[in-house]
Structure 1
Amino acid sequence: MTYTGDVTVGGAPQVRELSGLTITKVAVDEKMANNAYFLTCKATGDQVLVDAADAADTLLTVIGDAGLTTVVTTHQHWDHHRALATVVEATGAEVVAGEPDADAITEQTGVAVARRVTDGDSVAVGDCTLEVIRITGHTPGSICLLYRDPEGHPHLFTGDSLFPGGVGGTFGDAEAFKTLVEDVDTKLFGTLPDDTWFYPGHGSDSTLGEQRPHVAEWRERGW
């Protein structure tokens, strides 16, 4: 199956095979349609989950016998960590989150955040490396994860900071929107090439090149 990034709740995962990494995308929860991403190192078999959003049974089925080394929670909002406690209890995975959001995640889930990360930090997926990019605005400690495929284009996991069609919601907070769109513009569009494929916390994927012409429009409309 050709990877498109289009998944449905209750439907089959979509799988993308890179040179050193396998990306598996699953949709969970009919109401919120959250995406969960499994990243598996081909050399070692180590797996990392980006957002244990919901449906622990579904996530654990995908994890399977290979186990899970790490769960990265992209931000503190409840819909992105509803299955975190169950998944961590079942797998013993280490929990990683952005430093300013870590306490809120623990308060909401009862799960300790083992690693609090920010710009310049990294998360290992076996022999592969995810670079942490802090994007402030949707929440204080939202993070994106960047994988630079040595044999292809970059892959970027954006949580709720960037979607096809705009940045994440800031709930009427003009200053938060200003910070968010500036971070997205400078840290993502300003440093990464057009062929960077990004994977958001809800809905379909896109590329930075497809979205780049619209950034000024997003600034102008204010959301």
Structure 2
Amino acid sequence: MAARVDHLVTSGTFSLDGGTWDVDNNVWIVGDDTEAVVIDAPHDAAAIKAALGTRTLRAVLCTHAHDDHVGAAPALAAATGATVLLHPDDLPLWQLTHPDEAPDGELTDGQTITVAGTDLRVLHTPGHAPGAVCLYAPALSTVFTGDTLFQGGPGATGRSFSDFPTIVDSIRDRLLTLPSDTVVRTGHGDSTTIGAEAPHLAEWIERGH
């Protein structure tokens, strides 16, 4: 059976730089009836585990280490035996949420993770966070962008560890070069496509100045 994408939304808070906000997060599960990976583990490990059902969870792939994306990662890993993987440039953010435990391994640019016969290619896309990554699945015509690219533009860059010119470079060089029909599955909110977002690059740059 080919890999499929399942979708779950969890709700909680995001905290950084002394502020806290209510957020709804997308959780993406990629796999088949036997095995899967989870892309981001926010807020509620039990809900994510329930959505997995009887499938073996191979890994929790963290698009970045803001607390609303990794808060439940250690608990989910402990409950399932999965490994937690994060780009090492985001360790300072990870340690704000989980100071006493480290991820199990690293995500590196160009790395390929295979689940249910489907390849996910790691694209390092800093800007929203130093170690932000997107996960591109060519066979599914899908890229999981975390908080790097949303419907309507780049992720936020107004807080610590973020940088607007860097996120624009990441989107232009790593994402907008993907096929236009690639579905963009985001960390929050609705999905979009590369083709829908690409024409607006100049507008985003102007808006950011």
The TM-score range, normalised by the shorter chain, is: 0.7 to 0.9
Q: Is the 8 A contact 1:197 1:205 kept in 2?
A: yes
Q: How do residues 86-105 of structure 1 correspond to structure 2 at under 5 angstroms?
A: 86-102=75-91, 104-105=93-94
Residue 211 of structure 1 corresponds to 197
Q: How do residues 68-217 of structure 1 correspond to structure 2 at under 5 angstroms?
A: 68-102=57-91, 104-106=93-95, 108-109=97-98, 110-149=100-139, 154-171=141-158, 176-189=163-176, 191-217=177-203
Letter of the 2:78 partner, please give it.
E
RMSD (Å) for aligned C-alpha atoms: 1.9
| Alpha-carbon distance change, 199 to 55 in structure 1, aligned in 2, over 3 angstroms | same
Structure 2 unpaired stretches of 5+: 13-21
* Identity fraction in percent: 33
CA distance in 2, matches of 1:120, 1:22: 22
CA distance in 2, matches of 1:172, 1:50: 23
Aligned length: 198
**TM superposition score normalised by structure 1:** 0.83
Letter of the 2:180 partner, please give it.
D
| Alpha-carbon distance change, 72 to 111 in structure 1, aligned in 2, over 3 angstroms | farther
CA distance in 1, matches of 2:7, 2:67: 20
CA distance in 2, matches of 1:180, 1:214: 14
**TM superposition score normalised by structure 2:** 0.88
Deviation string 1:51-89 (CA, Å, 9 cap, x unpaired) is 011122211111122231100111010111121121111
Structure 1 unpaired stretches of 5+: 1-18
Counterpart selection for 2:40 from 24, 45, 51: 51
Q: Is the 8 A contact 1:106 1:113 kept in 2?
A: no
Judging by fraction of residues, say which structure has more strand: 2
3-state SS, counterpart of residue 170 of structure 1:
coil
